[in-house]
Amino acid sequence: MAPRPIVKLLRLARFPILQQLQLEEALLRATKCNWFIVNDGTPRHSIVMGISGKVQELINVHQAQKQQLQVIKRFTGGGTVVVDHNTVFTSLIMQDGALQGLECFPVPIMRWTESFYMDVFRRHGDFRLQEHDYVFGERKFGGNAQAITNKRWLHHTSFLWDFYPANMAALQNPAKQPEYRQGREHGSFLVRLKECLPSRQQFIQELQENADQHFELRVRRAMCCTVLCCAVVHVELSAQRSILCELCLRPADRNRWLMLAISICYGVCVSAGMSLPCVLVACCNSAATQLRHAALSLLFVVLTAAARCAALRCVHVKGHGTSMQTTVNAPRPQPPATSEPCAACCRRSACRELARRCSWTT
């Protein structure tokens, strides 16, 4: 029997989807570890488009403006989805060769994920992969997207635990649709998982238990907290720089107050609407530098928040890495033709620098 791959589990709750996408891109491009991420909802109602999506073709702009929906373009392909606190997100980030016999190509990866999730869903209905979607019968409840780069691959899914029909009205019927949809409107095309599964908490627990059957999970108890208080790795990817600030803590009694202070500080900043960069829960075995790193990281979070307050200004597009947030009241700004290769080159350099400094992942 082949050994199970070692996979790090990261559980989040109500983590902003834009920052989750930035985090996933950083883990895909700048680390060599395998990850399974579960995020139980995102606090803001958002529309997430694939990397080649066009606002005017996919979104009912008037309806999106009326409902004040955030519009995000992610770094993976796939279709357009509406997400909110009733959406459960999962992401598999794997090294090529981690799963014996699996070729690093879109179709084999998609088929493998069907078998991966089969034990979770088959007891609740006629589950299968239909083209690129997860369905019960002929009704979709999970949308998928992928990215494959440098012998690593990412497969992420948005599961519809529930949805608001008014939000779905902000999407146009795309010109390119899966055949099994047969032109149906969202109401008859989609199914809510809450109609098929006993409880949301049980669903999330089954996702983790299923992953534990397939992988050798590296689970830290602190990772299962809904507040990000155990440890913070701050990752900001942009065309200009890559910043890494690491906090190494163990969930020991003497550190609980410090963890709580960091959590409250971060929570207050996010609640105030500050766009802080990605946050990653992790643990480190090094005890010697715990307090020093903790103090530096807390100071870093405070200074970052202060800098963001001082630099608040109105912008149309903002983003880190490839995933970005954009407005829907104007066409997406096009960069000069000469700037794109430079930006891509800088981003690759930023990822390499991040991987070099992020020694805890190697």
Share of the chain above pLDDT 90, in %: 55
Query: Which one, of 313, 95, 349, 339, lies nearest residue 237 by Cα?
Result: 349
For the record, the structure tokens of 279 come out as 């946050």
Query: Which one, of 198, 192, 189, 124, lies nearest residue 162 by Cα?
Result: 192
Q: Per CATH, is 6-219 categorized as 2.40.37.10?
A: no
What pLDDT is recorded for position 3? 86
What pLDDT is recorded for position 131? 92
Would residue 318 be called left, alpha or beta, if left means φ above 0 and alpha means ψ between -120 and 50 degrees?
beta
Give the lowest-confidence range in 112-126, 161-175, 191-205, 314-328.
Answer: 314-328
How far apart CA 296 and CA 320 sit, in angstroms, is 23
Average pLDDT over residues 226-253: 32
Domain parsing of the chain, residue ranges: 6-219, 224-312
pLDDT in tens, 190-210: 999 999 999 999 999 999 999
* Cβ atoms of 186 and 105 closer than 8 Å: no
pLDDT in tens, 14-27: 999 999 999 999 99
pLDDT in tens, 123-144: 999 999 999 999 999 999 999 9
What pLDDT is recorded for position 176? 86
What pLDDT is recorded for position 245? 28
From residue 337, alpha-carbon distances to 15, 71, 95, 249, 341 in Å are 35, 24, 33, 45, 8
What average pLDDT does the structure give for the chain? 76
What is the band of 257 on the pLDDT scale with cuts at 50, 70, 90? Answer: low
Is pLDDT of 114 > 70?
yes
pLDDT in tens, 31-59: 999 999 999 999 999 999 999 999 999 99
Tokens 């996010």 — which residue?
270
* Cβ atoms of 109 and 77 closer than 8 Å: no
**What are phi and psi for residue 316, nearest 5 degrees?**
-95, -35
Q: What sections of the chain are H helices per DSSP?
A: 17-30, 55-58, 61-66, 106-121, 165-168, 186-189, 200-214, 256-271, 290-310, 339-357
pTM of the predicted model, to two decimals? 0.68
pLDDT in tens, 338-361: 333 344 444 555 555 544 444 333
Q: Which of 81-85, 180-184, 265-269, 302-306 has the highest mean pLDDT?
A: 81-85
From residue 245, alpha-carbon distances to 70, 230, 278 in Å are 28, 14, 11
- Helix, strand, coil share (%) of the chain residues, nearest 5: 40, 25, 40
Which residues neighbour 53 within 8 Å (Cβ) at sequence distance 6 or greater?
Answer: 73, 79, 80
Average pLDDT over residues 112-133: 96
Share of the chain above pLDDT 70, in %: 61
Average pLDDT over residues 162-189: 90
Which residues neighbour 50 within 8 Å (Cβ) at sequence distance 6 or greater?
Answer: 73, 74, 76, 77, 78, 79, 80, 145
The number of beta carbons lying within 10 Å of the beta carbon of residue 286 is 11
Residue 224: DSSP 8-state: G
